[in-house]
Amino acid sequence: MVDVEIGEHEGVTVCRPVGELDAFTISAFRDQLGGLAGHAEVAIDLSSVPFMDSAGLGALIGGIRKVRDAGGEVVVVCDRAAVLRLLHTTRFDRMVDVVGCLDDACAALRRDGTGPA
């Protein structure tokens, strides 16, 4: 089971799944992330995700696409070696900024021009 926390940090909407993201647990994550379409700035914080498989990655990509299609921008926060390895191996980090902490995510969103200077 995965819990999904939705909050705010420096004006950025934060989606923080807590637990493993795999084929058995992604439905709550996919639903919560899809509900963020329409938010201008979203940080997806994977720092509490010890494991993610291809189903989790697919849910992540689908949610990011929905936010972007609605005009929003997304940055992913990840400091877990196993999850980072998946993001790098699949070249996910070439389509979305991946940073090490939430403050860096907020800075990246501001640098992209979507947030306050």
Instruction: Provide the token pair at 5.
Output: 């926390």
User: 3-101 has which fold?
Assistant: Transcription Regulator spoIIAA (3.30.750)
Query: Packing angle between helix 26-34 and helix 54-69, nearest 10 degrees?
Result: 10
pTM value is 0.92
Mean pLDDT of each 10-residue bin along the chain, 117 residues long: 93 96 93 93 97 95 96 96 95 95 95 53
What count of other Cβ atoms lies within 10 Å of the Cβ of residue 68? Answer: 15
Could you tell me if 72 and 105 are in contact, meaning their C-beta atoms sit under 8 angstroms apart? no
SS (H, E, C) 32-55: HHHCCCCCCEEEEECCCCCCECHH
- pLDDT for the residue 113: 55
- pLDDT for the residue 117: 38
* Segments making up each domain of the chain, as ranges: 3-101
Nearby residues of 109 by Cβ (< 8 Å), 6 or more positions away: 12, 41, 43, 73, 75, 115
